[in-house]
Structure 1
């Protein structure tokens, strides 16, 4: 993720407030337990402290700075000591709730491939009356509208679960970037997503329902509130191309014996594919991911959109790599490691090009007498990793020079093919993507895939 380390770092992130959480703080205890506030609560407290305010009001408590205590909003006699200290956050482990919940819903783990773009994102665009190919990085004019709706949605969802103060703080952070362009808005969204709060938990709890007929109305109803934020986070302006090259990612989970057996069975079948419909946190550190659960997902990235969040995270040692919704996986196999008492499930991550997409590509090629020229001069292209096998199949069925005119496709070593995150076939003649809006600036025709 290029240039993300230039994101503004708030010194407040290096201060940590904690509260004495022993069951009875008035009793002497050999082991005093201090508990952390959530990251957002921590920032609310620190902001009030630095502003010289007498109290900081949270959703369930308020902080009395003069007496160094927290007080329940419902019972003034429920008081706990607090303390402020410089944070030395060198994590030796991952946040369990963020990195261990099964990334694939247990009730509907193998729901098949759902196309290039997540259904949640697609329905969000429909809710916002955007075209399928529209996104913040392609149309900056929609960014202020998306930011406003994202902020409103966060506040509404926060109120629903009694987290109004947290929600208002996050919404305010986002609104401050409203007119600062897609990169600053995206960095803000990514930073908020990495923080420990209700936001990432409720978003992914909702998105994992995609594919469940029983809960279809539930997740569709959330495209109005969570959808705008998810669209802003999903459209990473730093990652124009899917990640290739076989990067390894890891995630722990607790799975039932029956579900593990299903993975094993499907790895031996011809229908061993599925898709991630939620944002899915993984780690580049196998050792850290192995600390959780009875299962380790070992994931090799073949051709998929992922984002390195560590430069923006308050937990950089987690080495978090975010797998984008819509990424598909193939189950390659399973094994049991008795030395670690852990099952390993091997997945290959790739965005899907299904038969429907291939058919449309064939149709667009057949529309032109000289497909190679048309591809180079006008028709948007796809990544070589995706399109070259299709080109080879196309060439095998086309006449060569000896048949009176070569209508085969050239691989064109000076250029490249890619698909953007909307699923649009895009052209990059230089192979460098020097202008991230090349296909728009040159008014290239595009083939929008369903």
Structure 2
């Protein structure tokens, strides 16, 4: 039975969204322009303490907030104080809406190869032989005990080898099929941790976690939520953000019970309860250390460690899974502003095919995207490759975000795109790169 703490109102409906806390070093001059806002997550921590009628609360940096005396001070130096105040958001005049600069404008790291997409340029092969082709894709592994995944692996390896030539002899066809079968059997004998690491370092972080930590372990969604909370705490302590980490982990633990009876079926997809999924999205959008650390690792998978697979993987897996549950097809075009300082960086988006390695925030509002950076990505999502399937790459999360005015559309990890064209806007002095959702997304593992 759920505890009273678990049954508290979801975080999106809590009053903390309606108040902003400010601090001011100059106690003798309280003009509006002198007041500095606490960042989103610190504001939430302070507001929660205020609503719980606490006298004091700590935020990261060794900073204590005395709610009775309305002052802020350093734990190690009581003389270093400043005044604080609480303001109802609706009372503020002239509030400007700007997307979070770091989350909406940080450079996107792309990969120009997608191993499972056989209909495009694959990584260069060592030799024109079946064996060499298969060896380059030994990283592709799965629990092929099910017929569904056996067929999926067969499709992957067939794609790597290319379509069967019309003139191929019966012997060559047999060699080809034998090579595929050999590759499928070979992945069965690979250690699951090693295989998960290979997937992760190839840019498929969620699948790496699934292979390494979920296969044959009979975990529930609640177990994964618990692991995600523990991962946040461990990483937060390591980077000196334990207060933020404790606050974020607490939000996850409040909804953990919704997944207690839901088994995670390995590589069959999950239907994540909305109470859990909504909370994961909301936690991701907070202006905290967490989304920065998470995407920092996702953008550089080759340097990721097994410890990071275990601490970041659970959150990445459930967020990714839920975005697929609520994937959106009614938004036809999204935008992302980025700062690209070299032609080489810009050209990386102009290859025939690109894959985004991390979660990436975009917006349905072009004006918001144009605020930052010297390059605007215009991404066409209205691309259908047959009568039944859309090439979905993300979901609209504005209704779940801490910043709904940003009209955010969140791209999940591993989303694939095709380059369309490049323009330069002389009036706005901005590079414009047009991309469209790729057919590879129909078959993409992540």
TM-score normalised by the chain length of structure 1 = 0.67
1: distance between equivalents of 2:238 and 2:85? 30
From 283, 287, 292, give the equivalent of 1:192: 283
Match for residue 423 of structure 2? 335
Match for residue 191 of structure 2? none
Given the superposition, is the C-alpha separation of residues 351 and 142 from structure 1 closer, same or farther in structure 2, using an over 3 Å criterion?
farther
2: distance between equivalents of 1:350 and 1:147? 31
Could you tell me how far 1:41 is from its partner in structure 2?
Answer: 1.4
2:122 corresponds to 1:93:
no
2:173 corresponds to 1:173:
no
From 299, 307, 312, give the equivalent of 1:208: 299
What does the per-residue CA deviation read over 1:105-161, in whole Å, with 9 as the maximum and x for residues that have no partner? xxxx44322548951111111231327xx9xxxx9x611110110010000000011
- 8 Å contact kept, 1:7–1:312: no
1: distance between equivalents of 2:237 and 2:46? 19
1: distance between equivalents of 2:300 and 2:306? 9
Match for residue 306 of structure 1? 394
Give the secondary-structure state (helix, strand or coil) at the position aligned to 2:235. helix
- 8 Å contact kept, 1:209–1:219: no
Give the secondary-structure state (helix, strand or coil) at the position aligned to 1:235. helix
Unaligned runs of 5+ in 2: 1-9, 118-198, 260-272, 384-390
Give the secondary-structure state (helix, strand or coil) at the position aligned to 2:53. coil
From 252, 259, 264, give the equivalent of 2:337: 252
1: distance between equivalents of 2:79 and 2:24? 15
What does the per-residue CA deviation read over 1:323-364, in whole Å, with 9 as the maximum and x for residues that have no partner? 0111101111211101001000111123516xxxxxxxxxxx
Aligned residues: 328
RMSD: 2.7
From 71, 74, 85, give the equivalent of 1:72: 74
Give the secondary-structure state (helix, strand or coil) at the position aligned to 1:77. strand
- 8 Å contact kept, 2:393–2:437: no
Given the superposition, is the C-alpha separation of residues 295 and 261 from structure 1 closer, same or farther in structure 2, using an over 3 Å criterion?
closer
Match for residue 119 of structure 1? 204
From 222, 229, 232, give the equivalent of 1:144: 222
Given the superposition, is the C-alpha separation of residues 244 and 312 from structure 1 closer, same or farther in structure 2, using an over 3 Å criterion?
closer
From 228, 235, 253, give the equivalent of 1:157: 235
- 8 Å contact kept, 2:375–2:433: yes
1: distance between equivalents of 2:98 and 2:274? 30
1: distance between equivalents of 2:333 and 2:353? 18
2: distance between equivalents of 1:110 and 1:166? 32
Give the secondary-structure state (helix, strand or coil) at the position aligned to 1:176. helix
Given the superposition, is the C-alpha separation of residues 29 and 48 from structure 1 closer, same or farther in structure 2, using an over 3 Å criterion?
closer
2: distance between equivalents of 1:29 and 1:11? 26
Give the secondary-structure state (helix, strand or coil) at the position aligned to 1:236. helix
Match for residue 279 of structure 1? 359
2: distance between equivalents of 1:10 and 1:339? 44
Q: Which has the higher helix share?
A: 2
The equivalences for 1:29-428 within 5 A come to 32-60=33-61, 61-88=63-90, 91-104=96-109, 109-115=110-116, 119-130=204-215, 142-181=220-259, 182-210=273-301, 216-218=302-304, 220-236=306-322, 239=325, 243-244=328-329, 247-259=332-344, 262-263=347-348, 267=350, 272-301=352-381, 302=383, 303-350=391-438, 352=440
Give the secondary-structure state (helix, strand or coil) at the position aligned to 2:343. helix
Could you tell me how far 1:14 is from its partner in structure 2?
Answer: 1.1
Could you tell me how far 1:35 is from its partner in structure 2?
Answer: 1.9
Give the secondary-structure state (helix, strand or coil) at the position aligned to 1:179. helix
2: distance between equivalents of 1:123 and 1:261? 29
1: distance between equivalents of 2:378 and 2:215? 36
Give the secondary-structure state (helix, strand or coil) at the position aligned to 1:325. coil
2: distance between equivalents of 1:225 and 1:123? 12
1: distance between equivalents of 2:39 and 2:429? 32
Match for residue 169 of structure 2? none
Give the secondary-structure state (helix, strand or coil) at the position aligned to 2:280. helix
What does the per-residue CA deviation read over 1:350-386, in whole Å, with 9 as the maximum and x for residues that have no partner? 3516xxxxxxxxxxxxxxxxxxxxxxxxxxxxxxxx5
- 8 Å contact kept, 2:299–2:358: yes
From 4, 12, 15, give the equivalent of 2:16: 12
Give the secondary-structure state (helix, strand or coil) at the position aligned to 1:76. strand
